[in-house]
Amino acid sequence: MLTSVPLLPAYTRIFCDPARALRRIHNLTMNKITAETLNELLGIPDLIVTEYAFEEQGDIAIVHIICEHRYEVAVCPDCGEISTTLHESEMRCVRHLDIWGKMTLLHFPSRRFDCDKCKKPFTEKLPWIEEKRRQTLSFEKYIYQQCQQASKSAVAENEHLHYKTVATIFNRWAKRAESSHHRPVVRRLGVDEISLKKRHRQYALVLSDLERCYVIDILPERTQKVFAQWFDDLSATEQAAIQVVAMDMWRPYRDVVRLKLPHAEIVADRFHVMKQLNNRLSQIRRNLQRNADEQTRQALKGTRWLLVKNRVDLTADEEARLQAALAASPTLRQAYLLKEAFRTICEKIRDRERAERFLSAWVWQAEASGISQLRKFANTLRNWWSEFLNYFHDRVTSGFVEGLNNGIRYIIRRACGYHVFEHFRLQVLVEHGGLDAFPH
């Protein structure tokens, strides 16, 4: 059972205007400036800032902040006892969030203590930086958020970091976000593929939640073996929760779903069915244009998108150009009218039985037309007859996934491709998978 999600306000006002801030300042609790103020603002409460210095390295402005520890003790991570016996200490420098528009470097002693109870040395742990890291947690979170909007190479250049440093930070935080993400049960599953590299027939399988409109997972191949393994990795509860699976008309997807989810209703996605019919119409136009005389060829030229666009969305000028093209070719006119009739059936009819009657009549007309491309489409539709009629139950469609695919293609273009699929997968899940923007 899906848990209810509290509704958000219709809009959220961000009070960032200085004039409004001036009116709110009287309601705030003011803190006096003390020797510890800078430590609090920097987010390093267990250190004390003692000195600072500015430096110029080419066009990079740097501020060095020198700190010392507030306390001369540390807690043993194994037994929890407090130790006062210092084993060794050496200066450590880490990158922090920029202040005053300058690269900020924190310098502080890295200390090791001897535990009186465990009789073993241990390295002091600080809450604002992870072990063996050269950046504070705040700075790493900032880099992680920047990588959600720009390529890692661009972030590395803007922040004066090495590309591998940025990639390592992002991948580690993305994995952390994925592991902490509680994915709700999926009732309506969308299955679609996306080309990873043009003209190389490399496809990834995109699985999405059609109710919440985000990516669930992305698989490195669209093979039956990989798809079936994904279902095997689900719990029995997660498998039982999936009621509808929407997909394009590719038989391996259907075979896997029938095997792994015999209870689920398979829907031949209307978006992909209509896309295939439009492709058939484009083939008809190309064949006619290739073999036509000069006058007909000129009439058909530039009508590719006019023919596949919904007629109700055409402008007056586009309608005039379309009519001229249809008048030049009776065959194209017949195919176009059948395409529009099919679209009308999909949009207007909301009952499975009525849809079956209308579609049966449409298939008869397509076959009687004698146009080979329409006859091929009708044959494909017969092979997916029951699955396409399921669309008219609840009109489930994964058409929104095409928008997600455009976003995924943008990720690929922005990065100029990915050498490691797991890094690509994490980037997609962070931007389009509903993961937390601020993982813990």
Backbone conformation region of residue 302, classed left if phi is above 0, alpha if psi is from -120 to 50, else beta:
left
Q: Which residues contact 396 (CB under 8 A, 6 or more apart)?
A: 188, 210, 244, 246, 267, 390
Asked whether residue 116 falls in the same domain as residue 219, the answer is no
Using CA atoms, how far apart are residues 48 and 71, in angstroms rounded to an integer?
10
DSSP structure class, residue 214: E
For the chain, how many structural domains are there in total? 3
Instruction: Answer whether residue 310 is part of any domain.
Output: yes
Comparing C-alpha atoms, which of 153, 160, 107, 102 is closest to residue 129?
Answer: 107
Per-residue confidence (pLDDT) for residue 418, from 0 to 100: 84
Asked whether residue 263 falls in the same domain as residue 274, the answer is no
414 phi, psi to nearest 5 deg = -60, -35
pLDDT score of 30 more than 90: no
Per-residue confidence (pLDDT) for residue 11, from 0 to 100: 43
Asked whether residue 293 falls in the same domain as residue 365, the answer is yes
Q: Report pLDDT digits (tens) over 223-278.
A: 999 999 999 999 999 999 999 999 989 999 999 999 999 999 999 999 999 999 99
Per-residue confidence (pLDDT) for residue 399, from 0 to 100: 77
**Residue 199 — very low, low, confident or very high, per pLDDT cuts 50/70/90?**
low
Instruction: Answer whether residue 204 is part of any domain.
Output: yes
Using CA atoms, how far apart are residues 114 and 244, in angstroms rounded to an integer?
60
Instruction: Answer whether residue 74 is part of any domain.
Output: yes
Asked whether residue 387 falls in the same domain as residue 274, the answer is yes
Per-residue confidence (pLDDT) for residue 437, from 0 to 100: 64
Q: In the predicted model, what is the mean pLDDT of residues 29-49?
A: 84
Question: Of the ranges 11-15, 134-138, 290-294, 296-300, which one carries the lowest mean pLDDT score?
Answer: 11-15
Per-residue confidence (pLDDT) for residue 197, from 0 to 100: 77
B/e letters for 288-298, b = 16+ CB within 10 Å, e = fewer, are bbeebeeebee
Bridge partners (DSSP) of residue 218 are 206
Cβ atoms within 10 Å of 42's Cβ, excluding its own: 20
Using CA atoms, how far apart are residues 429 and 435, in angstroms rounded to an integer?
7
**Residue 440 — very low, low, confident or very high, per pLDDT cuts 50/70/90?**
low
Comparing C-alpha atoms, which of 437, 423, 438 is closest to residue 218?
Answer: 423
CA angle, 257 then 259 then 262, to 5°: 75
Could you list the residue range(s) of the whole structural domain that residue 356 is in? Answer: 270-394
3-state DSSP assignment of residue 79: coil
Comparing C-alpha atoms, which of 306, 308, 227, 303 is closest to residue 271?
Answer: 308
> What percent of the chain is predicted at pLDDT more than 90?
68
Token output for 289: 């244009």
Q: In the predicted model, what is the mean pLDDT of residues 156-166?
A: 95
Comparing C-alpha atoms, which of 440, 434, 337, 346 is closest to residue 395?
Answer: 346
Strands of the 188-197 sheet, one edge to the other: 214-219, 202-209, 188-197, 244-247, 265-268
Asked whether residue 261 falls in the same domain as residue 284, the answer is no
Kind of pairing, strands 60-69 and 102-114? parallel
pLDDT score of 393 more than 90: no
Q: Report pLDDT digits (tens) over 42-100.
A: 999 899 999 999 999 989 999 999 999 999 999 998 898 999 999 999 999 999 999 98
Among the candidates 109, 133, 157, a domain finishes at: 133
Asked whether residue 279 falls in the same domain as residue 368, the answer is yes
Asked whether residue 240 falls in the same domain as residue 281, the answer is no
CATH of residue 196: 3.30.420.10
Backbone conformation region of residue 265, classed left if phi is above 0, alpha if psi is from -120 to 50, else beta:
beta
Residue 294 near residue 282 (C-beta atoms within 8 A): no
Asked whether residue 249 falls in the same domain as residue 274, the answer is no
Asked whether residue 276 falls in the same domain as residue 200, the answer is no
Asked whether residue 262 falls in the same domain as residue 311, the answer is no
Q: Report pLDDT digits (tens) over 329-361.
A: 999 999 999 999 999 999 999 999 999 999 999
Among the candidates 104, 133, 162, a domain finishes at: 133
Q: In the predicted model, what is the mean pLDDT of residues 145-169?
A: 94
Per-residue confidence (pLDDT) for residue 394, from 0 to 100: 85
Give CA separation, 437 vs 57, 421, 431, in Å.
33, 21, 9
Instruction: Answer whether residue 9 is part of any domain.
Output: no
Asked whether residue 298 falls in the same domain as residue 375, the answer is yes
Instruction: Answer whether residue 138 is part of any domain.
Output: no
Bridge partners (DSSP) of residue 90 are 110
DSSP structure class, residue 262: T
Instruction: Answer whether residue 99 is part of any domain.
Output: yes
Give CA separation, 294 vs 147, 291, 325, 331, in Å.
53, 9, 13, 17
131 phi, psi to nearest 5 deg = -65, 135
Instruction: Answer whether residue 172 is part of any domain.
Output: no
Instruction: Answer whether residue 142 is part of any domain.
Output: no
Higher pLDDT, 253 or 201: 253
3-state DSSP assignment of residue 403: helix
Asked whether residue 412 falls in the same domain as residue 263, the answer is yes
pLDDT score of 17 more than 80: no
Comparing C-alpha atoms, which of 334, 335, 332 is closest to residue 292?
Answer: 332
- What's the mean pLDDT when you consider all of the chain? 89
Higher pLDDT, 5 or 287: 287
Bridge partners (DSSP) of residue 103 are 62
Comparing C-alpha atoms, which of 175, 166, 163 is closest to residue 147?
Answer: 166
Per-residue confidence (pLDDT) for residue 366, from 0 to 100: 96
Q: Report pLDDT digits (tens) over 279-322.
A: 999 999 999 999 888 988 999 998 999 999 988 889 999 999 99
